[in-house]
């Protein structure tokens, strides 16, 4: 990806980051409607209108995440990102880069595997979505937040600032 020299993430980049974080937490913490729908379908039943509605909430939020992911990559390509932070030890800079690339991959992979399961009945895709990708996402979010805390309180850098107030 191209990176111009900019001091912080642009306002649209920051808005997309935090809106997406909110939507992702919602789907991670409240997938029960979708799970209930899936259980009924798996057992050959017919889901009630309420079950379909709450499964659709999960689906539409997930599809919004996919749309924002496309927008986010475009913003990254056209507006660039601030330089790596020199105070951070090289090994952590490398880890952060790997984590960010994987997070980018997940914001595409989760919605796409979910859609394959929900709209096209691909069960294996549902299992990958609900078990493997979900766990990787949780682990990376934990590492990501730990990294942000280390920047703020240990290395005392402007990392959090450039993704918040700018
Ligand atoms: C980033 C976006 C998404 C996240 C974070 C997410 C997260 C989750 C989570 C946490 C579960 C429950 C896993 C468990 O049982 O513990 C789940 C299940 C499921 N989600 Fe998503 N989801 C996303 C997008 C989507 C989309 C866009 C769709 C479909 C349009 C979808 C369809 C499903 C289905 C069908 C299941 C049940 C799968 C199964 O039990 O095999 N998800 N999702
Ligand atoms: C929940 C889902 C989240 C996802 C998918 C996510 C993803 C990402 C990605 C991919 C980047 C790199 C941006 C780029 O260089 O293009 C980033 C940066 C950042 N994220 Fe998150 N993030 C999430 C949640 C959070 C949370 C909860 C925090 C709170 C501490 C946070 C704080 C930051 C900060 C401070 C940066 C800027 C790092 C820097 O200056 O290089 N993120 N995030």
H helix or E strand, kind and range, residue 161? helix 159-163
| 154 three-state secondary structure | coil
| 33 CB within 6 A, ligand 1 | no
pLDDT over 70, % of the chain: 98
Where are the domains positioned within the chain? 11-163
For residues 121 and 109, the answer to whether their CB atoms sit within 8 Å is no
Local structure of residue 50 (DSSP, 8 states): H
Ligand number with the minimum distance to the CA of 101 = 2
Please state the pTM of the whole predicted model.
Answer: 0.94
Which of 22, 55, 58 is the best mutation target for the ligand 1 pocket, counting ligand atoms within 8 Å of the beta carbon and taking the most?
A: 58
Over residues 127-140, the pLDDT tens digits come to 999 999 999 999 99
Q: Best of 7, 15, 17 to mutate for ligand 2, by most ligand atoms within 8 A of CB?
A: 17
Contact criterion met (CB below 8 Å) for 109 and 133: yes
CA end-to-end span of the chain: 21
pLDDT digits (tens, 9 = 90+) for 3-36: 457 889 999 999 999 999 999 999 999 999 999 9
């Amino acid at each position: 990806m191209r990176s111009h020299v900019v001091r912080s993430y642009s306002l649209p980049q920051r808005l997309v980051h935090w809106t997406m974080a909110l939507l992702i937490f919602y789907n991670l913490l409240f997938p029960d409607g979708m799970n209930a729908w899936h259980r009924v379908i798996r057992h050959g039943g017919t889901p009630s209108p309420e079950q379909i509605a709450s499964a659709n909430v999960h689906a539409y939020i997930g599809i919004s995440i996919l749309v924002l992911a496309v927008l986010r990559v475009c913003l990254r390509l056209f507006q660039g990102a601030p330089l790596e932070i020199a105070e951070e030890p090289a090994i952590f800079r490398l880890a952060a880069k790997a984590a960010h690339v994987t997070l980018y991959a997940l914001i595409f992979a989760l919605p796409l595997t979910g859609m394959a399961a929900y709209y096209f009945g691909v069960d294996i895709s549902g299992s990958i979505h609900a078990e493997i990708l979900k766990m990787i996402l949780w682990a990376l979010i934990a590492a990501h937040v730990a990294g942000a805390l280390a920047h703020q309180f240990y290395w005392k850098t402007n990392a959090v600032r450039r993704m918040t107030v700018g």
